[in-house]
Amino acid sequence: MLTYGATKYFDVDPNQIIVDARSFASWRNGLPEWIKNSSDAYDRAGALSADRVIVVILAPADKDGSPVLACLDFVGMASDDLIDKLARYGDPEASGSGTHVVGGHGNGGKLFAVGGFKGDVVWRTIKHGFRSEYGLAEPGRPALAFVLDDIGEVKDRPCTDLPSTLNEWLSALSLSVADLPAAAQAAAQRADGVTLVCGARSEQSFQIHDSLILSALRSHPQCKTPLETTKLFVVANGKLSNGGAALTLEEIMPYEGFSEPLAVSIPPSLNDPFGQSPVSTTAGGAQGTLELRTSDKQMPGMKALQGRHTIDFKQGSRIRGSRSVRELVGKGPFTDRIYGQCRLDALVESYESQTRGPLVESPLVRALEEWVGEQILAYADKIQQASMVQDKATKDEEKIKRLTQQMAKLNRWINRIVDEISSGVGDDPGFGGGGKKTGGTRSPLPLAPVGRIAIAIDEKVAGAKVPLEFSTSFFGLDDVTQVRPVSVVWHSSNPPVAAYSNVTDMVNTYQPGTAEIWCESSTGVVSNRIELRVIDCDRIELSAATIDVPIGRRRHVWATGITAAGERHEGIRVNWTTDSSDILRVGLAGVISGLSEGTSTVTAKEGDGTAATCVVTVVPAPEGPGGPNRPRYLLSEVQKAPYDEEPPVFHKDSGLVTQRQVDIEHNIWWINLASPLARLVYDQHGEVSEQWAMYLGERIADAAIEAAMQGADRGVESRPVNEVLEEVSQLRMQILDSFTQEFGATKQLVL
């Protein structure tokens, strides 16, 4: 335990502070207060967006064996701030609170320090070249004092090297500045101040459940503003959580037709529901505003959005309280899509509860909440009416189109992956492809630390404004074994020429020049560098002006870029498009896949300028492997077989995948949209969702295995049941592993 100097109480009963602190004993209520204090400190300092970095640290244990929880920002406090503001409980002037003034020295963070820790709680801080250490003189008691060392009080000690001092503080948490996220390392180099508040807790949950903390912070009302205005990171047990990325609020897409928030002025006077007596909402100040927003999903059904399905009651920038929309108006299909905030100057500090939950009950609060509920219900009715008058036929047509496109992608993928698997397993019963056996089914990549990252690209010369796909491989510490991918950050030596895009998940070119591209993992593993050359094409020539492509087959057309100086660059990467995606598909590298009979024009184009075309005729597929008798996978109620007049509708008990007698000879399999599981996933998430895409991938895998077993050269009856089940399980795992690699990262099925 540390030792402390003289303590000082202000005009607040210490026993009352201890009682109030019980509301903050849980980290779920207390940690957001520390984060908000740091966020408010940045606001008071007028910090730039790039400088607003907060790091929450979960350390395994201190020297007494207790897990340590800490919060780091790069603002800092002078000793006067510690004495005159931080040390004062229940004083609005100390917090800096008011209608249009942000707080930061208020009760919440200190009450967490009093009620949430069993050991030392210390604010270590640097400001303007001086450092101080200030903490609770006795665990669980509110009095604060400066830490004592061999020299005396640690107060206003000269500090000429902020990063080194921060390193010294972090070493007690088994960390260094180098272990912090890059944004925090940069902030440490340029900051004029820093504050590290840390305390020893009793429970062990911080050692293993940082995911719980990530989820809790995203949904807590006090963290909404920090998540919007700062870069908030979590370091747990020496490692960056959340893949090394800053925490962000879940993006909420608005309901169709209601993208702009609805702003409603709060009447100057409302009636208290108890007795109907009038209540002023202005208290001599400005008239308030209610702002309502919409979500395209029902928020209570989405774990990431449940904590956002609220109305925040704010005075200026400070959230005084928060109520669930369901608490205000109950459950409803359209009220469940509404959230927002109510700004009112009359909501002074006395209305704020200790837990930052619902406002303290009063005539104003009762009247305000009833009025807000009425506005929510009225807005929900408006949304419902607009939804009912939308052109349902057009909406259904768009859904059917998206679902059909998804199934077309999946059919192309599953046939390709089954071909690849078959060529590797050879004569294995059930899944044979006629080739030599090369090791059986492939297991998923192992989960292991990454020691090397290798990136590659087919074309290293491209035109301007062209997307480039990189292949990225991850290897273990032995530099040989391939392991599962991890999150990486991409870099460019010359971003105006070419740089990675988080939107497209590809490297985009922009203007002529040369750039090196590489990536780096959160653990510091750096990939090889690839040099890209972007040229300005004067004209483009294609390898063919006309070609024929059978249905289900591929042909490659490549482009040659010619500069104004006459330089020829064969195989240059350009943008490829088709005027008929129903007839064929053209990939980024000019690989053309035949889908249905017809003629289409394929265009190769550099950015917005030079272009060349090729006329492609898609012809009937030849009989035999890859021909018309390959399995096809269709979606009931949406698609139809060539011999159907209307899409078939199956019974809900017909299974997740099914076949009719007429389908067998045509090798057609149906994903049953009437099954309860399909309806649950589709109705809750919709066709434009990763959940629905994954459901389709799983059903395609099931159907592909059934189709492969039915088409096997010899049966499986003579083989042990457990051997067959193991092989089926391995194949299904392999198919789904391929699905995740193909569609999961790029989200190509989320159209």
Determine if residue 278 is left, alpha or beta; phi over 0 gives left, psi from -120 to 50 gives alpha, anything else beta.
beta
- 503: containing domain: 452-535
Same-domain status, 467 and 384: no
Tell me which of 515, 535, 555 is where a domain ends.
535
Residue 221's closest CA among 293, 304, 290, 320?
Answer: 320
pLDDT per position as a tens digit, 576-633: 999 988 888 887 778 888 888 899 999 999 876 789 999 999 998 765 434 445 678 8
Residues linked to residue 467 through DSSP beta bridges, in sequence order: 508
Same-domain status, 198 and 96: yes
User: CA 238 to CA 180: how far, in whole Å?
Assistant: 9
User: CA 499 to CA 507: how far, in whole Å?
Assistant: 5
* Residues whose CB falls within 8 Å of the CB of residue 352, separated by 6 or more in sequence, listed in order: 320, 321, 359, 360
Same-domain status, 318 and 296: yes
Which of 214-223, 260-269, 559-568 is predicted most confidently? 260-269
Is residue 643 pLDDT above 90, yes or no?
A: no
Tell me, what amino acid is at 253? M
Question: What does the H/E/C string look like for 91-146?
Answer: CHHHHCCECCECCCCCHHHHHHHHHCCCCCEEEEEEECCEEEEEEECCCCCCCEEE
User: CA 588 to CA 748: how far, in whole Å?
Assistant: 14
Q: Is residue 442 part of a domain?
A: no
Contact 440, 425 (CB under 8 A): yes
Taking each continuous run of H as one helix and of E as one strand, the counts in the chain are: 16, 39
| Structure token pair of residue 175 | 């960390």
Is residue 3 pLDDT above 90, yes or no?
A: no
User: CA 339 to CA 310: how far, in whole Å?
Assistant: 5
User: CA 291 to CA 73: how far, in whole Å?
Assistant: 31
pLDDT higher for 106 or 595? 595
Contact 413, 739 (CB under 8 A): yes
516, 517, 523, 525: CA torsion to nearest 10: -60
The pLDDT value given to residue 398: 72
The pLDDT value given to residue 184: 94
pLDDT higher for 614 or 213? 614
Same-domain status, 547 and 530: no
Determine if residue 88 is left, alpha or beta; phi over 0 gives left, psi from -120 to 50 gives alpha, anything else beta.
beta
- 707-726: average pLDDT: 48
pLDDT higher for 246 or 741? 246
pLDDT higher for 71 or 211? 71
Tell me, what amino acid is at 580? S
Q: Is residue 174 part of a domain?
A: yes
Q: Quote the DSSP letter at residue 176.
A: -
Band (pLDDT 50/70/90 cuts) for residue 667 is confident
> What percent of the chain clears pLDDT 90, i.e. is strictly above it?
31
pLDDT higher for 29 or 416? 29
Buried residues in 249-268 as b, exposed as e (16+ CB within 10 A): bbebeebeebeeebebebee
pLDDT higher for 375 or 208? 375
Q: Is residue 443 part of a domain?
A: no
User: CA 743 to CA 60: how far, in whole Å?
Assistant: 37
Q: Is residue 253 part of a domain?
A: no
Least confident of 2-16, 354-368, 437-451, 507-521: 437-451
CATH number reported for the structural domain that contains residue 17 in this entry:
3.30.565.10
Buried residues in 618-648 as b, exposed as e (16+ CB within 10 A): beebeeeeeeeebbbbbbbbbbeeeeeeebb
Band (pLDDT 50/70/90 cuts) for residue 101 is very low
Is residue 727 pLDDT above 70, yes or no?
A: no
Same-domain status, 151 and 228: yes
Is residue 274 pLDDT above 60, yes or no?
A: yes
pLDDT per position as a tens digit, 285-341: 889 999 999 999 888 877 778 888 999 999 887 888 888 999 999 888 889 999 999
Is residue 642 pLDDT above 80, yes or no?
A: yes
Mean of the per-residue pLDDT values of the chain:
81
pLDDT higher for 148 or 20? 148
SS3 state at 527: coil
Write out the DSSP string of 528-550: --EEEEEE--SEEEES-SEEEEE
Distance from chain centroid for Cα 560? 39
Sheet containing 554-556: give its strands across.
554-556, 591-594, 584-586
User: CA 417 to CA 577: how far, in whole Å?
Assistant: 25
pLDDT per position as a tens digit, 153-200: 999 999 999 999 999 999 988 899 999 999 999 999 999 999 999 998
Same-domain status, 236 and 217: yes
- 394-417: average pLDDT: 72
User: CA 543 to CA 557: how far, in whole Å?
Assistant: 6
Q: Is residue 254 part of a domain?
A: no
Q: Quote the DSSP letter at residue 551.
A: B
Same-domain status, 643 and 601: no
* Residues whose CB falls within 8 Å of the CB of residue 9, separated by 6 or more in sequence, listed in order: 142, 143
| Alpha helices by DSSP H, 177-220 | 182-190, 210-219
The pLDDT value given to residue 342: 95
Q: Give just the sign of the alpha carbon dihedral 364, 366, 370, 376.
A: positive
Q: Are strands 310-315 and 338-343 parallel, antiparallel or unpaired?
A: parallel
The pLDDT value given to residue 204: 47
Is residue 390 pLDDT above 70, yes or no?
A: no
Strands (E), 625-744: 632-635, 657-658, 668-671
Residue reference for tokens 């005027």: 579
Contact 590, 613 (CB under 8 A): no
Q: Cα separations (Å) of 66 from 4, 62, 63, 195, 298?
A: 20, 5, 8, 21, 41
pLDDT per position as a tens digit, 47-67: 888 899 999 998 876 555 567
User: CA 147 to CA 163: how far, in whole Å?
Assistant: 21
Same-domain status, 65 and 195: yes
User: CA 179 to CA 334: how far, in whole Å?
Assistant: 46
SS3 state at 726: helix
Band (pLDDT 50/70/90 cuts) for residue 364 is very high
Tell me which of 481, 515, 535 is where a domain ends.
535
Least confident of 136-150, 229-243, 344-358: 344-358
Same-domain status, 266 and 207: no
Give me the number of domains the chain comprises. 5
Same-domain status, 225 and 356: no
Q: Is residue 625 part of a domain?
A: no
Is residue 43 pLDDT above 70, yes or no?
A: yes
Q: Cα separations (Å) of 612 from 543, 562, 583, 587?
A: 11, 12, 19, 16
SS3 state at 198: strand
pLDDT per position as a tens digit, 413-452: 777 766 665 544 333 333 333 333 333 334 457 788 999 9
Neighbouring C-alpha atoms within 13 Å toward the C-beta of 163: 11
The structure's pTM equals: 0.48
Residue 172's closest CA among 61, 77, 71?
Answer: 61
Q: Is residue 633 part of a domain?
A: no
User: CA 59 to CA 206: how far, in whole Å?
Assistant: 8
| Structure token pair of residue 613 | 């075309």
Residues linked to residue 101 through DSSP beta bridges, in sequence order: 98
Please classify residue 603 by burial: count the beta carbons closer than 10 Å to its beta carbon, then call 0-12 exposed, 13-18 middle and 19+ buried. Answer: middle
Q: Is residue 628 part of a domain?
A: no
State which H helix or E strand residue 395 sits in.
helix 392-425
Same-domain status, 211 and 182: yes
Same-domain status, 233 and 120: yes
Instruction: For Cα atoms 563, 564, 568, give the angle at the middle one, nearest 5 degrees.
Output: 30
Q: Give just the sign of the alpha carbon dihedral 77, 81, 86, 92.
A: negative
Tell me which of 619, 652, 681 is where a domain ends.
619
User: CA 394 to CA 399: how far, in whole Å?
Assistant: 9
User: CA 323 to CA 305: how far, in whole Å?
Assistant: 14
CATH number reported for the structural domain that contains residue 590 in this entry:
2.60.40.1080
| Structure token pair of residue 338 | 């509404």
